[in-house]
Amino acid sequence: MAKVLKKNGSMEDFQREKIVKACMGCGATEDVAKRIAGEIETQAYEGMPTTKIREMVLSKLTAVNPQFKENWIKHEATKKAK
């Protein structure tokens, strides 16, 4: 399993479940969320920055439904406001 590079500089195991949860939180169905997470998992590599994973997820969400990307960005904004 690849380790990913977080914004704070630490490394952690790639966690497919985090992508699934985030996608579903944006409105994607469980099937779509699992498909996106699986696709990204196959492309994950050692030291892959989480910012790259975010870009990939947003691209795939947009391809399914542009509203999902908007929902993601709104959710991120609320997390940063806290």
pLDDT in tens, 1-38: 899 999 999 999 999 999 999 999 999 999 999 999 99
82 pLDDT higher than 70: no
Number of independent structural domains in the chain: 1
76 pLDDT above the threshold of 80: yes
Average pLDDT across the chain, whole number: 94
Alpha-carbon distance 68 to 26, whole Å? 5
Torsion-angle region of 46 (φ positive above 0: left; ψ -120 to 50: alpha; else: beta)? beta
- Range(s) of the domain holding residue 25: 3-81
User: Stretch 44-52: mean pLDDT, rounded?
Assistant: 97
* pLDDT at position 50 over 90: yes
Q: Which residues of 56-67 are buried (b: 16+ CB within 10 A; e: fewer)?
A: bbeebbeebeee
